[in-house]
């Protein structure tokens, strides 16, 4: 059993000739551009820890974050925004630059 197409068009309804110059203008660029990473975390270990602890968990992860200036923060990470770390410390939200963090310790408080 041979099936016929429902709609058959023998020739295109219109045709446009494109010159070589116009064809070059229409070609897509194959160049690859990388966005400059001005907002990157310098310490790869801190970056890895921040991504891990920013993930949702059943129980909030209480962390001890030690900054390079010696300040210590105890709280949870709400989310990351580039190099900005939004933390909840004593029921207040704080924004800390990730490049200012010296170490991150997981608290053993249950």
Tell me the C-alpha to C-alpha distance, in Å, between residue 14 and each of 17, 29, 63, 78: 10, 28, 68, 58
pLDDT in tens, 46-92: 999 999 999 888 888 899 999 999 999 999 999 898 889 999 998 89
Domains of the chain, first to last = 41-106 (2.30.30.100)
Place of tokens 């933390």: 87
pLDDT in tens, 5-26: 677 666 666 666 666 666 666 6
């Amino acid at each position: 059993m041979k099936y016929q197409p429902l709609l058959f068009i023998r020739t295109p309804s219109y045709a446009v000739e494109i010159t070589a110059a116009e064809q070059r203008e229409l070609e897509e660029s194959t160049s690859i551009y990388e966005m400059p990473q001005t907002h990157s975390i310098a310490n790869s270990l801190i970056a890895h820890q921040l991504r891990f602890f920013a993930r949702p968990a059943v129980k909030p992860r209480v962390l001890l974050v030690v900054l390079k200036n010696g300040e210590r923060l105890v709280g949870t990470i709400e989310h990351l925004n580039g190099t900005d770390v939004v933390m909840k410390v004593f029921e207040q939200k704080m924004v800390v630059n990730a490049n200012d963090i010296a170490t991150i310790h997981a608290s053993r408080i249950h």
